[in-house]
Amino acid sequence: MQPLIWESRPDGLRAPAMIAAFSGWNDAGDAASAALTFIGESLGAERFARLDPEEFYDFQSTRPHIRFIEGRKREVTWPGIEIFSARVPRAPRDLILVQGPEPSMRWRTFCRHLVDLAEALDTQLVVTMGALLADVPHSHPVSITGLASDDALVEKLAIRETTYEGPTGIVGVMHTACMEAGLPSASLWAAVPHYVAAAPNPKAALALVRKIESLVAVTVDASDLESATEDYERQVGQAVQSDPDVQAFVERLEQAAERDTSQLGPGDLPSGDAIASEFQRFLRQQGPER
């Protein structure tokens, strides 16, 4: 059986852009996957294809889920990639959305299937999204970095190009596979404060959504995500103010951000890991707001 399973054929897509995000290593604060899910739900995206997970996942590390349906009957839900189409009549293009957990193995084959899908649907642009942990303060605008396949896209992105070299995830591999196939492609990365790593980050998700809007010329109603961002900033701000060590650490990050450098220099503040551990303890104690 072919891994790519078509459930229907979304014929008539207009100059489609493919947007992909994967949960896991590429997705600090769940920002990229949340951004893609929000776009899909806002535009009424419909699933038309999926990738069979058997070839690409280690089910001991990415486990299936089981649930009860119709009383005593149980159903297994396997991890895998789902592919949606979103038609946007008032925009110049439609969208193809690719989402799911980062695969465990056979990344080159995995990316080849997605490139074949993009070419079969005459995709005009492929955009991958990710989020990374960084020494950035939660109080500043989210920093978006990235790269693109050509100078025109770089100029349109209007972001600082990344110079990162080192281990990569499926987002980096897929972006490279698209470039090698001659598909115009861009990769966007949101910086997430490492001291709030365990909490979902709607602020970073919103920043990715806004950058996607400008890149693919498709607009969504982001009022719900804006409200979630306000709640996030309020809760994190309260947590910071409650602990002098955390507050001092964040102030140092703010000063570094204003100097446009991530090098804080030596000091007698607790380590970032210690701050993160203490911060997460505080958030757990607060519980959900009522």
Give the confidence band of 271 by pLDDT, cuts at 50, 70, 90: very low
State the average pLDDT for the chain. 88
User: Among 99, 109, 102, 215, which Cα is nearest to 157's?
Assistant: 215
| Domains of the chain with CATH codes | 4-221 (3.40.50.10900), 227-286 (no CATH)
pLDDT higher than threshold 60 for residue 147 = yes
The tens digit of pLDDT for each residue in 9-63 reads 999 999 999 999 999 999 999 999 999 999 999 999 999 999 999 999 999 999 9
pLDDT of residue 280: 56
- 122 or 243, higher pLDDT: 122
Give the confidence band of 144 by pLDDT, cuts at 50, 70, 90: very high
Q: What is the pTM of this model?
A: 0.86
Q: What are phi and psi of 4, to 5 degrees?
A: -80, 115
Section 238-258 average pLDDT: 86
The tens digit of pLDDT for each residue in 209-239 reads 999 999 999 999 999 999 999 999 999 998 8
pLDDT higher than threshold 90 for residue 118 = yes
